[in-house]
């Protein structure tokens, strides 16, 4: 009897959360966030292009993964970790010479590399 009542429906706070997630306000906020992230992506890709680095334009993530022509990614990212930069080798051997740069942070700051 207890099992049936505890599993037969969602709790009320989850139901209210679902209603809020499908509101017009939430849809507008999601659209604004997507536009902001696209703008950031385009800015980062422009700057990377100005440095003649190899980088595939992301289509759904808020990270770029530029290749620094054989540079030591650990040394390169070491001083930039607080700026959202992670060494590419953290993602496996194919990431050596790359860094992962996040442009999804609310407090984004672009460092000169």
Q: Shortest CA distance to 66 belongs to which of 26, 110, 33?
A: 110
Please state the φ and ψ torsions of residue 85, each to the nearest 5 degrees: -105, 130
Q: What is the pLDDT of residue 3?
A: 62
Calpha distance 18→91 (Å, rounded): 34
Helix (H), strand (E) at residue 43: helix 24-50
* Pick from 86, 109, 110, 107: nearest CA to 98: 86
Span 2-61, pLDDT tens digits: 666 666 677 788 889 999 999 999 999 999 999 999 999 999 999 999 987 889 999 888
- The domains found in the chain, sorted by start residue, are 13-102 (3.90.1150.10)
Q: Average pLDDT of 74-83?
A: 82
Q: What is the pLDDT of residue 1?
A: 58
Would you state the pLDDT for residue 113? 37
Residue 85's nearest CA partner among 94, 76, 93 is 76
């Amino acid at each position: 009897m207890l099992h049936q009542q505890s599993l037969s429906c969602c709790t009320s706070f989850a139901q209210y959360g679902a209603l809020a997630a499908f509101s017009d306000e939430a849809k507008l906020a999601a659209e604004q966030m997507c536009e902001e992230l696209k703008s950031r992506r385009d800015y980062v890709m422009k700057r990377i292009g100005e440095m003649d680095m190899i980088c595939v334009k992301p289509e759904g993530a808020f990270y770029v993964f530029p290749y620094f022509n054989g540079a030591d990614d650990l040394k390169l990212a070491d001083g930039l970790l607080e700026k959202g930069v992670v060494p590419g080798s953290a993602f496996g051997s194919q990431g050596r010479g790359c860094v992962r740069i996040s442009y999804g942070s609310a407090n984004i700051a672009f460092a000169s590399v």
